[in-house]
């Protein structure tokens, strides 16, 4: 009964069973016994707040901060009891901090809402009531039939019903999901393939039963029950029937599919890690420092309270004649009086906790983030994309990264395969301008020069091919060569699963080596990027794959069309690492063509130039090229009959089908004749190798996490410099059980210990990683920590996040950064301390969910080594300076209590208490934290080792924190006692004999303190602009002007006029001016001496680089960091000052690179 009530009220989850039942087109049974299941809508939500929860949720998060919560308590105490200062002194700064922070975080979440609205509001077409209805993506319901056109993205997880193809198949790319840009084929069940129109689909009566949503992209189980002529037909559904949200339809005009998972239940959304608030290391250090200062504050309040009551043990001080107690005070509880006095002292000293620190940090992060977007060095001209900052809370974390986890496809590479070289019959060739050029002498040739392969001219029966051709061979050898080359390129053109669209074959391949025709007129789609590159290369050479129609494959060879009947496809699998096709030639001969990794092809070969080809493959691999070997076998009629029978039996088996197919493939793929090998290049993005090497020099470990195959991933790791040729590569792959995995890990650990190799690299696949993380985390981490580079392949999106999580919680607690460009990378981007999205070719999911977005991987070095370095130094100085200036501010207040019998008399006027952090000392540190460049950016980027100087939060170490704190206390003692000794014996320092009072004394202390802390900020500044000068010296001038104005007028709204004419009297004394100068010099002299001594006798690497950077002329990197108007000013100064540059040409290029640019165009 109770469960039924909860279900009716909507408290129970909508899905209680392990399966869901979906009525296609939402045609529910007519009888009333069925209760429809409740499914969520199709909205994607990446935002954090709503209109209703913004205020309570944001306030809760802000008051989790120690300083905010503390000042809230102080404000409430001031409201409840009589305290020496007004509640406004705490309430106004607190309100200002909370408001500014809420506006900043609300603006950032508003941007996320806009991004979500753009996705959820995308137009889609849904079949409803017998017609095609245009609606928005968010309105799709489970059970709706959706129409998707070519190149559109699937808005939900759909089960394919039909396509414009007769066989009901379609082709999709899942680059934004698993990082693979290859084409994947999906098929519909036979009964729905004929339903290609809306009218036909309106007659469909079917039910889908499938599993509840899960994150695994490659797993889907279900069945479709179709009712036809009062009979039910049951068809199984698998991953080949499911079209995932985020994938894109290719090479198919349109498809119809039924939505089975929507919104946050789609596999793409389930692979998103829930968005949590990221906190930087600096913020954690701030909270630690605040707790220390809170302990200091409480200690001072307790000491003051105890000393007050100790002093009042003497009767003359307990109730002096001028301060008689009331009857109520005499009869009140001593415990309550003690608590009240303790709280009063707490309020009096509360400004030692710098609440304005948080608002200054928020402003620094928000305003400072604009410099990343303005940086012209992070602007990609080809795509017109500039760097984006989605979360400014982590700017300084860019300077603390210890691990970089990067995706491969689209992040390190351009997603473009290019054919480079091949080996045919033991001869190595490379493609140059659409022609194959052999390297070295060919057989029976004495000429060692490059020769052009022109053996295909026999296919047009051209008579001019003689022994005088470039091969220089005898007719018999020439015939054999022609046959080998003929078979090689036929194998390349036939052994694949490539699909083709926009077929326009006229004029293609009409002559030999027409390099420019085929690619412009044929559009290939492949399940593997290698296949596409190879077929395109064969087309350029003259063997053009025209297309496949049902069971026929058409190839045009130098203008002559040949048709091959496709008999069987032996699909690729990771165990065999090869694929094969069996075709029947126009002559009736049957051939088996096979291609695969050399380790899987060469052992099955019994003929051909095996050894020479193996050498060539090794040479290709050393160049970082991806290699495949090609082989063939001619089948007799009897052999084919046996093969055909075994394949039929294996494919129709109901039990152990996979095992029987593997045995059949092994029986077929044997006794092959080796034809040669191919080498293609997965083109890396520009400067990837240099960027990875720079990251290593900076002490950052680089891990590559990819969903690609093992061989592909290793090849790219070698080519991009992630793995070195001299590195000892260890492998943890194809592990089947926990015990086997544990034993392999122990062997790897022993090898690392025993091998005297400087660097080790580790390769691990997704299956083995799951076993390693299940019960052997510590052993796995020990192996990883001893490896210079780690490559994880065949990774599911959530596995990527788990790996990063494992590193994050390790004992060292390193700072992690994740880089990716697809939706499959969102989980790891959100899991890492810092997430970087690449705005590449795989959609914008990664860029939208990242903390920062850049156009190319190479920009990562500038982002970390320059911006990260600057942001960290700026905010580290800001934090420590704030604590320093507040110690200087409050310590004289504590010392003053010893001279006023702990009466809680304030040393400063309440206006000065309120404005000290808000106005008088706020701008110099804010401008410093925005513009400071302690080293030339050019030096930082070219010396990655300087990044090590700021790693592990060195600038905010306890040693540095204590130095700034002790410095603040020492300066405060000089302020207070310097002023006290100046006035202690002779208080009539004015010319008219008028004496100084306590407000004059407090004003003198405040004036010396303000000048000292401001000049201290000036000493910390290395990079001076007119803005720095204006706010630094302007703050001091503003204080004097304000004090004269504030003390020169009787304010009608003020209860007391304590400061009336005080500042005029103070400044009229020459002794005061001398004392101010003397105390400021005394405070800063030792600090200056220490800096000079350390810089000349114990300089750090950073200080050495600072001295070097002073000799470096202003560079374009330096200019790019400024706002555009400032960059132009610097360029004009360069021209007029005639600063030496490398060349006049370089100067012209420098001008041209910035002329005409605006922030909007960047």
Catalytic positions, written as ranges: 407
Residue 1055's CB: how many other CB atoms inside 10 A?
A: 7
Six-digit token pair at 197?
A: 């129109």
List CB contacts of 70: < 8 A, sequence separation 6 or more: 290, 294, 350, 353, 355
Instruction: Residue 459: count other Cβ atoms within 10 Å of its Cβ.
Output: 17
What are 262's two structure tokens? 């929507």
User: Are the CB atoms for 418 and 679 separated by under 8 Å?
Assistant: no
d(CA 667, CA 640): 12
Contact 800, 828 (CB under 8 A): yes
Distance CA 360, CA 929 (A): 9
Tokens 């091949």 correspond to 422
Contacts of 563 (CB under 8 A, 6+ apart): 552, 553, 554, 555, 586
d(CA 582, CA 592): 4
Residues 6+ apart with CB under 8 A from 451: 437, 438, 442, 445, 470, 471
388 within 8 A of 652, measured Cβ to Cβ: no
From the list 499, 573, 501, 483, the residue with the least C-alpha distance to 535 is: 499
Contact 818, 825 (CB under 8 A): yes
Question: Which among 868, 843, 818 is positioned nearest to 375, based on CA atoms?
Answer: 868
Query: Considering only CA atoms, which of 146, 126, 121, 150 is closest in space to residue 136?
Result: 121
**What's the residue count for the chain?**
1162
What is the rounded CA–CA span in Å between residue 798 and residue 804?
10
Angle, helices 738-754/766-775, rounded to nearest 10 degrees:
90
Return the sign of the alpha-carbon dihedral for residues 472, 474, 475, 476. Answer: negative
Give the C-alpha separation, 62 to 903, whole Å.
35
Reported as type and span, the H/E element at residue 524 is strand 523-525
Distances (CA, A) of 206 to 133, 212, 227, 233, 1095: 21, 19, 6, 9, 80
Tell me whether residue 811 is exposed, middle or buried, using C-beta atoms within 10 angstroms of its C-beta: 0 to 12, 13 to 18, 19 or more.
Answer: exposed
861: its two tokens: 């070095």
Two structure tokens written together for 442: 């060919």
Give the span between the Cα atoms of 98 and 76, in whole angstroms: 16
CA distances, 296 to each of 273, 628, 896, 931 (Å): 40, 70, 17, 33
Residue with tokens 């950073």: 1102
- Give alpha helix (H) positions in 511-552: 518-521, 529-541
Burial of 853 per CB tally in 10 Å (0-12, 13-18, 19+): buried
Q: Are 125 and 110 in contact (CB under 8 A)?
A: no
Give me the DSSP letters along 889-906: HHHHHHHHGGGTTT----
Instruction: Please state the φ and ψ torsions of residue 103, each to the nearest 5 degrees.
Output: -65, -45
Question: Considering only CA atoms, which of 495, 488, 674 is closest in space to residue 571?
Answer: 495
């Amino acid at each position: 009964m109770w469960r039924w009530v909860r279900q009716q009220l909507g408290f129970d989850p909508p899905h209680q069973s392990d399966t869901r039942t979906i009525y296609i087109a939402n045609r529910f049974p007519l009888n009333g016994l069925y209760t429809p299941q409740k499914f969520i809508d199709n909205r994607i939500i990446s935002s954090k707040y709503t209109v209703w929860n913004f205020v309570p949720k944001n306030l809760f998060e802000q008051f989790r901060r120690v300083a905010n919560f503390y000042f809230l308590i102080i404000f409430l105490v001031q409201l409840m009891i009589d305290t020496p200062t007004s509640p406004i002194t705490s309430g106004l700064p607190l309100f200002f901090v909370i408001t500014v922070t809420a506006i900043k975080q609300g603006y950032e979440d508003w941007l996320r809402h806009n991004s979500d609205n753009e996705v959820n509001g995308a137009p889609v077409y849904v079949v409803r009531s017998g017609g095609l209805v245009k609606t928005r993506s968010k309105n799709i319901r489970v059970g709706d039939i959706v129409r998707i056109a070519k190149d559109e993205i699937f808005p939900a997880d759909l089960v394919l019903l039909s396509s414009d193809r007769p066989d009901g198949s379609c082709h999709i790319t899942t680059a934004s999901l698993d990082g693979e840009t290859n084409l994947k084929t999906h098929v519909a069940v036979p009964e729905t393939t004929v339903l290609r129109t809306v009218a036909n689909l309106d007659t469909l009566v079917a039910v889908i039963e499938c599993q509840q949503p899960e994150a695994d992209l490659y797993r889907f189980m279900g069945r479709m029950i179709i009712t036809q002529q009062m009979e039910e037909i049951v068809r199984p559904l698998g991953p080949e029937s499911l079209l995932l949200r985020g994938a894109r339809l290719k090479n198919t005009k349109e498809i119809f599919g039924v939505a089975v998972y929507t919104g946050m239940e789609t596999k793409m959304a389930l692979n998103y890690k829930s968005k949590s608030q990221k906190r930087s290391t600096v913020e954690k250090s701030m909270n630690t420092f605040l707790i220390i200062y809170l302990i200091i504050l409480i200690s001072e309040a307790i000491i003051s309270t105890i000393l007050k009551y100790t002093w009042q043990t003497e009767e003359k001080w307990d109730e002096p004649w001028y301060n008689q107690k009331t009857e109520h005070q005499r009869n009140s509880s001593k415990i309550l009086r003690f608590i009240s006095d303790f709280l009063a002292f707490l309020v009096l000293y509360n400004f030692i906790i710098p609440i304005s620190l948080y608002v200054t940090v928020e402003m620094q992060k928000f305003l400072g983030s604009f410099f990343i977007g303005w940086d012209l060095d992070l602007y990609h001209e080809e795509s017109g994309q500039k760097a984006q900052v989605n979360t400014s809370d982590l700017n300084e974390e860019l300077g603390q990264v210890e691990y970089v986890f990067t995706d491969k496809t689209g992040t390190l590479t351009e997603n473009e395969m290019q054919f480079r070289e091949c080996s045919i019959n033991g001869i190595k060739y490379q493609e140059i301008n659409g022609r194959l050029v052999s390297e070295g002498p060919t057989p029976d040739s004495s000429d060692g020069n490059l020769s052009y392969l022109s053996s295909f001219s026999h296919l047009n029966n051209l008579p001019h091919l003689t022994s005088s051709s470039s091969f220089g061979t005898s007719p018999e050898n020439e015939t054999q060569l022609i046959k080998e080359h003929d078979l090689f390129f036929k194998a390349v053109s036939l052994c694949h699963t490539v699909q083709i669209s926009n077929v326009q074959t006229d004029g293609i391949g009409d002559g030999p080596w027409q390099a420019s025709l085929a690619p412009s007129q044929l559009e290939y789609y492949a399940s593997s990027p290698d296949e596409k590159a190879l077929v395109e290369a064969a087309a350029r050479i003259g063997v053009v794959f025209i297309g496949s129609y049902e069971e026929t494959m058409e190839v045009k060879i130098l203008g002559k069309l040949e048709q091959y009947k496709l008999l069987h496809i032996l699909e690729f699998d990771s165990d065999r690492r090869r694929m094969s096709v069996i075709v029947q030639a126009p002559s009736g001969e049957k051939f088996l063509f096979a291609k695969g990794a050399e380790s899987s092809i060469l052992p099955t070969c019994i003929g051909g130039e095996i050894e020479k080809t193996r050498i060539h493959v090794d040479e290709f691999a050393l160049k970082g090229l991806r290699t495949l070997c090609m082989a063939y076998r001619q089948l007799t009629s009897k052999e084919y009959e046996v093969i055909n029978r075994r394949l039929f039996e294996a494919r129709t088996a109901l039990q152990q089908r996979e095992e029987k197919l593997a045995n059949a493939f092994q029986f077929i793929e044997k006794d092959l004749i080796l034809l040669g090998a191919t080498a293609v290049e997965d083109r890396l993005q520009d400067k990837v190798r240099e960027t990875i090497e720079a990251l290593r020099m900076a002490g950052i470990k680089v891990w590559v996490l990819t969903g690609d195959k093992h061989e592909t991933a290793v090849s790219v790791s070698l080519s991009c410099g992630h793995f070195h040729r001299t590195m000892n590569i260890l492998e943890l792959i194809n592990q089947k059980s926990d015990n086997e995995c544990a034993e392999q890990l122990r062997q790897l650990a022993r090898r690392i210990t025993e091998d005297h190799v400087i660097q080790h690299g580790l390769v691990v696949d997704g299956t083995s990683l799951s076993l390693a993380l299940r019960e052997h985390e510590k052993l796995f981490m020990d192996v990883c920590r001893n490896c210079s580079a780690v490559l994880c392949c065949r990774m599911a999106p959530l596995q990527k996040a788990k790996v990063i999580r494992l590193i994050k919680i390790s004992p060292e607690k390193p700072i992690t950064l994740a880089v990716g460009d697809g939706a499959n990378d969102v989980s790891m981007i959100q899991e890492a301390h810092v997430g970087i999205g690449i705005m590449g070719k795989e959609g914008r999911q990664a860029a939208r969910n990242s903390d920062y977005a850049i156009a190319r991987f190479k920009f990562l070095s500038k982002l970390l080594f320059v911006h990260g370095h600057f942001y960290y130094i700026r905010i580290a100085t800001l934090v420590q300076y704030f604590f320093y200036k507040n110690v200087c501010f409050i310590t004289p207040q504590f010392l003053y209590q010893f001279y006023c019998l702990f009466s809680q008399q304030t040393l400063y006027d309440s206006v000065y208490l309120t404005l000290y952090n808000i106005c008088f000392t706020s701008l110099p540190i804010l401008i410093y934290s925005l513009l400071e460049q302690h080293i030339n950016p050019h030096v930082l980027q070219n010396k990655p080792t300087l990044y090590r100087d700021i790693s592990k939060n060195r600038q905010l170490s306890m040693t540095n924190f204590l130095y700034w704190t002790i410095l603040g206390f020492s300066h405060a003692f000089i302020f207070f006692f310097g002023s006290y000794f100046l006035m202690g014996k002779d208080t009539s320092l004015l010319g008219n004999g008028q004496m100084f009072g306590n407000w004059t004394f407090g004003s003198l202390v405040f004036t010396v303190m303000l000048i000292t802390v401001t000049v201290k900020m000036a000493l910390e500044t290395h990079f001076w602009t007119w803005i720095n000068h204006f706010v630094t010296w302007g703050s001091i001038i503003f204080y004097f002007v304000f004090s004269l104005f504030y003390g020169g007028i009787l304010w009608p709204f003020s209860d007391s006029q304590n400061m009336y004419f005080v500042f005029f009297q103070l400044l009229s004394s020459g002794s005061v001016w001398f004392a101010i100068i003397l105390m400021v010099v005394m405070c800063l002299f030792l600090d200056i001496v220490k800096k000079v001594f350390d810089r000349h006798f114990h300089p750090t690497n950073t200080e050495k680089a600072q001295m070097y950077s002073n000799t470096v002329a202003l560079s374009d990197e330096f200019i790019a960091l400024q706002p555009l108007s400032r960059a132009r000013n610097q360029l004009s100064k360069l021209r007029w000052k005639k600063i030496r540059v490398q060349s006049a040409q370089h100067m012209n290029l420098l001008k041209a690179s910035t002329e005409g640019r605006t922030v909007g165009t960047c």
